[in-house]
Amino acid sequence: MNKSLLGAAFLLLPLVSMQGHATDVYECLDASGERSYQQLPCPKGSTTISVKETANKSSGTSAIDITATLYSIPDCRACEEVRDYLLYRGVDVVEFDVSEDVELQNELRELSGKLNVPVAVIGAEMITGYDRDKLASALTTAGFVDPKASKE
């Protein structure tokens, strides 16, 4: 696929992702006090803080629709954490599995300078690894309005 087609596909993906579907995201607290966000119920030995059903953006839950792009690979715990945190916050996620796609690997290397995952792109910001504070900051910078805050 040439770069112009890849670019066009990349630009259209947020439009397609707005159709989305509902997903439950669990906020968990483990014995050491670490929070995690996941699509499966919290594991034994941890406490469920909350369960949130995410829905597509057609529900009008955010003043600005934000779509995050996530470069990931299967069986990557940090990738799952990023995806689940963004879903928990009500953000649409367009995910690219770079494990076997050379063109996506090259795109990721060009974007981040490395071939490491996860890499999330939110607005103009790129976040490598799972850093909840950086993800939240990027969402704020991109104009995301937390659906919970807008209901108050």
The yes or no reply on domain 63-144 and CATH 3.40.30.10 is yes
Here the tokens at position 75 are 């069986």
At 27, the pLDDT band (50, 70, 90 cuts) reads: confident
Whole-Å CA distances, 59 to 20, 55, 100: 11, 7, 35
Interstrand relation of 35-38 and 47-54 (parallel, antiparallel or unpaired): unpaired
- Do residues 67 and 117 touch, judged by C-beta distance below 8 A? no
Locate the domains of the chain by residue range: 63-144
User: Using CA atoms, how far apart are residues 68 and 100, in angstroms rounded to an integer?
Assistant: 21
Express as a percent the part of the chain with pLDDT over 70: 72
pLDDT of residue 62: 46
pLDDT digit string (tens) for 60-102?
A: 444 467 889 999 999 999 999 999 999 999 999 999 999 999 9
Nearest residue to 120 (alpha-carbon basis) of 76, 63, 54: 76
